[in-house]
Structure 1
Amino acid sequence: MTETAFVSRARVTAIGSYVPERLITNEDLERLVETNNEWIVRRTGIEQRHQAAEGQSTSDLAIAAVQNLIERFPAAAHGIDAILVATSTADKPFPSVASQVQQAIGARNSFAIDLSAACAGFVSALQLANGLLLSGVYRKVLVIGAETLTKMTDYTDRSTCILFGDGAGAVLVEAAADDEVGSFLAANADTEGAGGIHVYCNDEGNIVQNGREVYKWALTVVPEGVRGLLTQAGKTLDDLDWFVPHSANLRMIEAICERLALTPEKALQSVVNNGNTSAASIPLALDAAFKEGKLQSGQLMALYGFGSGLTQSGLLLRWTMIRA
């Protein structure tokens, strides 16, 4: 686990999200494979997931999420000098999704790249954003998690087709003022490449997952990782206001909370209404909580992404936003 003395200049100052209108309900899946609503909810907690329309791509979702952010926070559109998009489902190998976002919002002279770290991608992109701000070259970094996983889903595989959905979330990360300390307090990351056989894209372009092995891995590494973040920052679990894990499976989140001795009510999730949206799941959970008025400036939260790679990435931060 990579843990070093952490320095931050980063503050989250704006947020937005987007999910496609089209829904895939559990009842819809009953007509495709041998499953039912009761089994899906009992095993995963998922009630529905969103699906991109025909011809709607990951870049479309990412752009819509950023447009939502700018509608709420108009000043956010000015001075963006870097765009990072975490995704495993880019429209094509190139141009990048980030470059298409740059064109759509007119962010001239912006550094724009895609980041591929699967379900850990959004948190990894936040860590990278902090590094860009520390360089002093950048001041405003747009960080996006966007996925169209339904395009990679095999709807004849009952074990995986119930899980995945499409969506996008975006945050603006700005450099703190010269007399301020950044709100990112601690970070860690780790990759176990030998575990890549448990979640991968096959030659047909479909997601293949050994859910049992991923579950066992996550229940070990995520609680350890969260405790490590708190130790780095000199905090305890009692100080934590919110835990925001990758929303892979509601039952997995509940089990991780039990391992951490956290009440499930402290976990923010997006999986019930959106399914597993990989790199988009954490920003979707944050934005849902923001819209519900749950997030207050000064609250301490642990973001934790984990998934294919096997890759994990954690970030401890103070929430600094107030409602627009």
Structure 2
Amino acid sequence: MKILGAAVAIPTSVDDSQSYSLAYAVGAARPALEQAGCLPSELDLIVSLSTSPNRIVHDPAIAGPRLAHPVQRDLGARHATVFDLLDADWTIALDFAQSHCRWLGFRRGLPVACPSPVARAVQIAAWRPSHWTCSGSEWPAARWRFDCAQRPNRESCVSFADTMRSQRRSCLRAGRAHPAEWWRFWGIESRYMIDQDAGETELTLAEDAAREALGLAEVDAGDLDLVLFNMTSPFVMHADGRRRFAPRLSRMLRDRLGAKRALDAGVDMACASFVLQLQLAANLIKDGRVKRALVCSSELMSDVFDYTSKSSTNFGDGAAAAVLVAEPPDSQGANWLKAVYHSDATHYDLVTMRWRDASGLGEHADSRPGVYFTLKPDAQEAIARFMPVAIPGVVSSLLHQSGIGTADIDAFVFHQPSALLVRAWAQRLALARHQYVIRVADCACLVSAAVPFALHESIRQGIIQPGSLVVIAGAGAGRGFGAQLWPWGDTAIDRVGTGSVNAEVRHGR
């Protein structure tokens, strides 16, 4: 890799409480790109590192999205793939970006180190790998097993048929305002919610799923080389209800599991984060630098619901984990072949997290100020325009580049925002019903955990078998999309809801 340009941006006053990250990042990016002789429109990849959950745009009420997509928009880097890394340092960002460019054939990347509230400085390096073309003989022969587990809390399932019963009284009151037709329209019958009174958090759910996946893979946590993690909420929830935004859960999960030798990092591409984690783990396995990787998504969306908004109550809580293990070339292992990604910063602010007082959410709502999931007033109309075509677009591009058609694919695993959208994607791609699953009726949209839940269900139903050709496609809040092609191999999963390693389904073992 050759670094062609670098720059920093430091505010004139460290006491400037109205400073925001985006201005610094863009201010440093432009001179770095000029030094590199690279136009923003020529960028293939933007990777940001960010700690602070807010100050991303010049609106102190907004707590998200993070930095990468606003940088893409303001630079005009419309062709770049973008994502955020959390709890990672500069060298890790360079390393991940280099590996990503190598295996996707990218030429130019732009890692961005975003300022935190304490140290407001930005580092930028515009670079291109010195060796980015790969012949077939240069590809490591390693394959991997894929073992996955999911851990929703079945005991705290919320039933919309019974006025949204839950632990939260504000949910009960607001739920009565939403007619049953609303849930039937979106194909949602029930969902899961974390029971904070019982000490459940996104970390405990993630740990349960991770330990189960490790057991299925017969991998000791101490032998892991890589732990990648994602959660959408800008805050980490303590068991006692206290919140914090740093450190993120990747480091905590690694420590709880005892994976002391593993590199850990948080990955954020909204609902497409799990798909991106698979990509990053696959890259490093193909580089021959990682043998055992854990990828995990855990979502606590019930803590950021605005129960007065019907749109924000289409989500549920849950966690999923997968273990990828490099194996000898003659084994029956899943092997990632090709991927296509598309980022569109035009829509980055359609779906946001906003700071506001919760007092308007009902008589029994939490009185503390908090962060709440919010859609812009015109978000539903905008999403209705681009979302039905975005996923079919990246999938069609992937199939075209791979020289195959939809009939050659045994299974499509889609993000699961709603049954309506999944059916629309399948119809646009002219898929047969046996080629995909819909997994929202019992759990609603699980954000970044939705794809692994659908993957889990596809394996459980036998739609995915050893030797199957599989497309995995994710969509992230209207601003990031990706599709991957995998020839499937040896897989072990737990049976849904059992929580028992002994009650597993094994294919090809």
Q: CA deviation at 1:268?
A: 2.4
Matched, 1:63 2:202: no
Check whether the contact 2:435–2:463 (CA below 8 A) recurs between aligned residues: no
Map of 1:125 onto structure 2:
277
Check whether the contact 2:273–2:476 (CA below 8 A) recurs between aligned residues: no
Query: Residue by residue, what CA displacement relative to the aligned partner does 1:170-190 show, whole Å, maximum 9, x if unpaired?
Result: 111223435679611111112
Alignment partner of 1:20 out of 128, 138, 153: 153
The aligned amino acid for 2:160 is N
Map of 1:195 onto structure 2:
347
Map of 2:179 onto structure 1:
36
- The verdict on how the C-alpha distance between 1:208 and 1:278 changes in structure 2, with shifts beyond 3 A counting, is same
Matched, 1:167 2:167: no
Matched, 1:211 2:211: no
TM-score (norm 1): 0.91
- Secondary structure at 1:155's aligned position in 2? coil
Map of 1:48 onto structure 2:
190
Map of 1:99 onto structure 2:
251
Matched, 1:223 2:392: yes
Alignment partner of 1:109 out of 252, 256, 261: 261
Map of 1:320 onto structure 2:
489
Instruction: Name structure 1 gaps, 5 residues minimum.
Output: none
Alignment partner of 1:306 out of 475, 479, 482: 475
Query: Residue by residue, what CA displacement relative to the aligned partner does 1:241-276 show, whole Å, maximum 9, x if unpaired?
Result: 111111001100101111100124322232111111
Q: Distance in 2 between matches of 1:137 and 1:290?
A: 28
Q: CA deviation at 1:308?
A: 2.0
Q: Distance in 1 between matches of 2:388 and 2:425?
A: 6
Q: Distance in 2 between matches of 1:285 and 1:76?
A: 26
- Quote the sequence identity (%): 24
- Secondary structure at 2:312's aligned position in 1? coil
Alignment partner of 1:149 out of 301, 305, 316: 301
Check whether the contact 2:387–2:478 (CA below 8 A) recurs between aligned residues: no
Check whether the contact 1:242–1:301 (CA below 8 A) recurs between aligned residues: yes
- The verdict on how the C-alpha distance between 1:167 and 1:66 changes in structure 2, with shifts beyond 3 A counting, is same
TM-score (norm 2): 0.59
Q: Distance in 2 between matches of 1:75 and 1:170?
A: 13
CA radius of gyration, larger in: 2
Q: Distance in 1 between matches of 2:380 and 2:418?
A: 10
Q: Distance in 1 between matches of 2:438 and 2:321?
A: 16
- Secondary structure at 2:158's aligned position in 1? strand
Q: Distance in 1 between matches of 2:286 and 2:245?
A: 29
Q: Distance in 2 between matches of 1:149 and 1:143?
A: 19
Q: Distance in 1 between matches of 2:144 and 2:325?
A: 5
Q: Distance in 2 between matches of 1:268 and 1:168?
A: 19
Matched, 1:79 2:213: no
- The verdict on how the C-alpha distance between 1:83 and 1:192 changes in structure 2, with shifts beyond 3 A counting, is same
- The verdict on how the C-alpha distance between 1:297 and 1:104 changes in structure 2, with shifts beyond 3 A counting, is same
Check whether the contact 1:81–1:138 (CA below 8 A) recurs between aligned residues: yes
Check whether the contact 2:144–2:326 (CA below 8 A) recurs between aligned residues: yes
Query: Residue by residue, what CA displacement relative to the aligned partner does 1:80-135 show, whole Å, maximum 9, x if unpaired?
Result: 11000122125142222121221222112100111111101010111111122233
- Secondary structure at 1:49's aligned position in 2? strand
Alignment partner of 1:260 out of 424, 429, 433: 429
Q: Which moved more, 1:178-187 or 1:250-259?
A: 178-187
Residue correspondences, number: 322
Check whether the contact 1:244–1:301 (CA below 8 A) recurs between aligned residues: yes
Q: CA deviation at 1:166?
A: 0.6
Q: Which moved more, 1:69-78 or 1:225-234?
A: 69-78
The aligned amino acid for 2:483 is G
Q: Which has the higher contact order (CA 8 A, sep 6+)?
A: 1
Instruction: Name structure 2 gaps, 5 residues minimum.
Output: 1-78, 82-103, 106-132, 165-171, 237-243, 357-370, 492-505
